[in-house]
Amino acid sequence: MKSFLLVPKESIETQARPGVRGTAQGERVLSRSTALRFSAAQKAPDALTALGLRSATLPGMKPEVSGQAPRGRKSARGKKAAKQAEATPLPGGPVTEQTGAEAGSYRFMPLIGATMAHFYSPDAEKAARGELAEEFEFIPDVVPLSFPGPVSAGQTGPRNRGMSSLATREWPDESGVPLAHAQGIRGAGVMLGILDTGVDADHPEHASKTIQFRYVSLFPNSPHNPARDVRGFDPDGHGTHVCGIAAGVHHGVAPEVDLYAASVIESETIRTSLGRVAAGMEWLLHQFSRPENASRPAVVNLSLGFPLQPPPGISEADYLLNQRALQAMLRRLLDSNILPIVAAGNSGPDTVGYPAAFPEALAVGAVDFERNVATFSASGAVGRRVVPDVMGYGVNVYSSTERRCNNQAFYERMSGTSMAAPYVAGIAALYRCRAPDLTALEVRDLILANAIKLPRSANHRTGKGLAVFR
């Protein structure tokens, strides 16, 4: 089986535009539009269906059977229609096993304007390319993404564990977090999306709120392994730590945000695929575009990225296609008035990776609580773009991780730009809470304008400085 993300070429090549428009009277139009699909996007599922691929998109109603023959005999057409009707699954019904006769399967994701296709034979792939290659990029789902590599304790101090929350949040006064909370600005009304290893919804840091959670399976676009909404869990702890920094009740920068977490990264390999990230992104956009959410401000945190170089066995062309597809997804977030915040990486100076290097992203490096740049914090330049854009606290940050079998909850100090990014995501949520009519790009500009400048470093780039709330 070979898997491809089919993305309209016009979608990849179109630059992002502000998601919120003003009217002639100056009134802000906040509603998030679900009509972001490009005109060509629908052609992929239509063509794949015609070629015999099975849809893994939510099934429709069973069609009516027409053309029945008189009683006692059925015409060939009537028999065929009846057979098709019996094979069409009802909503929520069980999915039948593959017979081996299908050409493949696909899932249409209209909000990001893409279709994930799985071809079970070379002939099926060839036929699909013949129908769609002129308008679609066939992006092989082979390049692994992962969250920034772990940071050694020798660089950052001990990774000590605790079995309780701290008496007070440890965000310094200069961060502006204590001031915001004193003014009642705690993130209420803002939606925060997290794509990571998951979140332990029953950890004391998160148990008092309802967390919308989706587990994105290893093969989320197969009808046999569907993604599903369940009680939030996290087999790794990384995602729970990230969520605690941004939105934890006792330690979070913005403890009153509504949290939407998608588990897209495996704990064993800390890797994921473009298809799983696409499925998680589609789910977030679907949640954020519901009628009750369409006018609410939103932020998305991505502590993940591509390796710096194409992995062994992956061609440069396929690697670049994967990059461009991920960039197109970030554009869809901005088109929807959602601010994407990403970790810069943990490979040190002159190691710019993606998606941090995309201009659509707000890329975050790491400093300690004394404003010293972490030795692991990635930085560099891609053309005229300097990475990171801004810095966040990312050294020995105390936050939630996991629970034992006896329900004893743990906290842990962890380091990395994976920790700095949710701090900045929390700062963005505070700004969006205070002024919900600001666009995503205006919030980005506000964060950059209010950043505290840091001393020049011989080795590191620090963007505009330390992100704070003012």
Active site residues: 196, 238, 418
Amino acid identity for residue 406 in this structure: N
On whether the CB atoms of residues 3 and 105 are closer than 8 A, the answer is no
On whether the CB atoms of residues 172 and 355 are closer than 8 A, the answer is no
Strand partners, 393: 367
Tokens of 250: 């006792």
User: Is 399 buried (19+), middle (13-18) or exposed (0-12) by CB count in 10 A?
Assistant: buried
Tokens of 100: 């081996």
Count helices and strands in the chain by DSSP H and E runs: 11, 22
Local structure of residue 346 (DSSP, 8 states): S
User: Is 452 buried (19+), middle (13-18) or exposed (0-12) by CB count in 10 A?
Assistant: middle
**DSSP structure string for 32-69:** PPS----TTTTHHHHHHHHTTEEE-SPP-PPPPP--PP
On whether the CB atoms of residues 300 and 218 are closer than 8 A, the answer is no
Cis peptide before 140 (omega within 30 of 0): no
Largest CA distance in the chain: 89
Amino acid identity for residue 112 in this structure: I
Tokens of 282: 């589609």
Q: Is 187 left (phi over 0), alpha (psi -120 to 50) or beta?
A: left
Give CA–CA dist 457/252, Å, rounded.
29
Give CA–CA dist 368/419, Å, rounded.
11
Amino acid identity for residue 281 in this structure: M
